[in-house]
A and B are shown apart, each in its own frame.
Chain A
Amino acid sequence: GAGVSQSPRYKVAKRGQDVALRCDPISGHVSLFWYQQALGQGPEFLTYFQNEAQLDKSGLPSDRFFAERPEGSVSTLKIQRTQQEDSAVYLCASSHETQYFGPGTRLLVL
């Protein structure tokens, strides 16, 4: 079956621009996670949804980061007023028991 998909795969933004990153989880997976992976590092947790409820957002680095999953399926991670330090790969994972990852969105802020 289809895995986790993310779009866009690559995004170049000018500093100060807002961006929106989309995640389509595996059908039927209740849990959805967002991670940020800086160059040469392991992924770091950003936020977690169970259905449409955002149960943990402790990893979001600032109030410029916002995530939603309004119908309990597709999720969007929004970054407002992007900064250069936001440049990273953003990974989405959906889970029934084990987390399955999408290919990621590589964000470059110039």
Chain B
Amino acid sequence: AQSVTQLDSQVPVFEEAPVELRCNYSSSVSVYLFWYVQYPNQGLQLLLKYLSGSTLVKGINGFEAEFNKSQTSFHLRKPSVHISDTAEYFCAVSEGSARQLTFGSGTQLTVLP
């Protein structure tokens, strides 16, 4: 069985400051890793994904994440946040491209002016 832990349920940060949203996973097999963003009353939008290859993955809106196999982590980072980044962020894992996603409980990022 696989699981995802998002260590922070809420992260407040000032505009233009850097941010890191933490994600740890557990799985007995190789996994694919994802970060999704959810704006109020909307579905999930893919930010970035790790399938294989380079452990540093760049996504949309200036976000990036680094896969660390030894620490079973996939933390999301952005060097300078904007007000518009305020949203709920979900880390997810799957065992294949046509397999179900297992999500963490989410991190609410609030960017303060």
A41 to B101, CA, bound (A): 14
Known: A42-B105, A103-B42, A104-B43. A98 touches B100 (CB 8 A): no
Known: A4-B43, A98-B46, A103-B43. A45 touches B102 (CB 8 A): yes
> A59 on the interface (CB 8 Å rule)?
yes
CB under 8 Å from chain A, chain B span 16-46: 34, 36, 41-46
Chain A residues whose CB sits within 8 angstroms of the CB of B102 once the complex forms: 45
> B98 on the interface (CB 8 Å rule)?
yes
Chain A residues whose CB sits within 8 angstroms of the CB of B41 once the complex forms: 103, 106
A42 to B105, CA, bound (A): 4
A91 to B44, CA, bound (A): 9
CB distance from B16 to the nearest CB of A (A): 28
Are B100 and A48 in contact, CB atoms less than 8 angstroms apart? yes
Among A33, A95, A104, A106, contact of B97 (Cβ-Cβ < 8 Å): A95
A81 to B4, CA, bound (A): 32
A35 to B34, CA, bound (A): 16
CB distance from B43 to the nearest CB of A (A): 4
Are B43 and A91 in contact, CB atoms less than 8 angstroms apart? yes
Are B90 and A42 in contact, CB atoms less than 8 angstroms apart? yes
Chain B residues whose CB sits within 8 angstroms of the CB of A102 once the complex forms: 43
Enumerate chain A interface residues (CB-CB to B < 8 A): 4, 6, 30-31, 33, 35, 40-45, 48, 50, 56, 59, 91, 93, 95, 97-104, 106
